[in-house]
Structure 1
Amino acid sequence: MFEEEFFLPFKDIFQDIELEKTLPRRKIKFKDGVYTFKVSLRKGTWSKIQLSAHETLHDLHILIQQAFEFDDDYMYSFFMDGKPWSKYEFKCPIGDEGPCSDEVKIGELDLIEKQNFLYIFDYGDVWKFNIEVFEVKDEEGDEYNPKVIENKGERPQQYPDYDDEW
């Protein structure tokens, strides 16, 4: 799990989570640019979203909500290893503990093209979105306006229409 030799003597003494919280880790260099994400709900239903490296994961959340025409009324998380409920999670800002999605910029995540991660919205209904880093353009992104650039497939209904069932 640890790449740095410094940590090896400590592996048997501490739990993994304690090492990650207390010992210094490699600093990730900020990677400026414009990032395009392909956000898929299911096969044939996706959106492409562009953000600058200076935007946060919370900004990505807001654009996903717009792209899929959802109401932003539930909690959410990003799982950077693609595994639901893993420890590599960035939580929504209204949660009790972090790290929070509004505390990390896209350019700080060390993302590469074709990398995938997971976004879960609404812990009750558990809407799972696969996010692929579709493209990273090496241009300055400070003044780039985040936007949804393409949609494909029918947008799902967030809430079932119970009137139709009566």
Structure 2
Amino acid sequence: MRKQISDAARLRVTLLDLDPAPWRIIEVPLSMTFKGLHEAIQAAFLWFDCHLWEFDVADRCYSLPLDGDQGLERTYNASTARLTKLRDSGISEFLYIYDMGDNWEHHVEVLDLFDMPAGARLPAFIDGKWRRPPEDVGGVPGFEMFLEAMADPKHEDHDDLFDWYGKPFDAQDIEPEIVKVQMGRLASMRRPKK
């Protein structure tokens, strides 16, 4: 009897250069494209998907082609490249970069490859900890200043940053209910395996 080839992956995505480092564990079908993985990571971290992004996988850059892109580095189309590459090439880790200005680097680790049960709805959120920084906060240095000002009501920037963010920053609340709804929306757009 022929062994079935794994068709899904469990991934741990960790936002680098922060302490504590926000992380999420998600499960995705390997038939998904890198663009689909981008959407799943956006949903898992509740990013707003309003900036450029790319994957750096085994010395290849996957992103969306830009009009007039004359970059020196060849970019592969993330809309057509599938995650089966991870399984077929034995890739166990890679980078996802979101927002080239703030430069949020995420380390993506393949924790497991498995056979997706019939009727399974992926992608799915499994676990996570620590809220990600606000969009457009200014990268790691800006986030550190933001945390300092938000924690001290006497800080000269406290009121402005509180107004900008709109509420207290709770580093422990990753809003799992919203994450699950967002991931469920992505899963419902995919055809279930028969």
The alignment-based identity, stated in percent, is 26
State which of 135, 138, 143 in structure 2 corresponds to 1:158: 135
- The count of corresponding residues between Structure 1 and Structure 2 is 130
Q: Distance in 1 between matches of 2:48 and 2:98?
A: 11
Alignment pair present for 1:91 and 2:91: no
Superposed CA deviations along residues 25-61 of structure 1, whole A, max 9, x for unmatched, are xxxxxx5411111000045420011111111111111
Alignment pair present for 1:104 and 2:84: no
Q: What is the TM-score when the length of structure 2 is the normalising length? A: 0.57
Alignment pair present for 1:58 and 2:47: no
Judge conservation of contact 1:76–1:119 (CA < 8 Å) in 2.
Answer: yes
In structure 2, give the amino acid aligned to 1:148: F
Q: Distance in 1 between matches of 2:78 and 2:24?
A: 20
Q: What is the TM-score when the length of structure 1 is the normalising length? A: 0.66
**Structure with more relative contact order (C-alpha pairs < 8 Å, separation 6 or more):** 1
In structure 2, give the amino acid aligned to 1:33: D
Q: Which runs of 5+ in 2 are unaligned?
A: 138-145, 147-156, 164-194
Judge conservation of contact 2:102–2:136 (CA < 8 Å) in 1.
Answer: no
Alignment RMSD (CA, Å): 2.8
In structure 2, give the amino acid aligned to 1:164: L
Judge conservation of contact 2:35–2:63 (CA < 8 Å) in 1.
Answer: no
Q: Distance in 2 between matches of 1:52 and 1:64?
A: 13
Q: Partner of 2:105 in structure 1?
A: 128
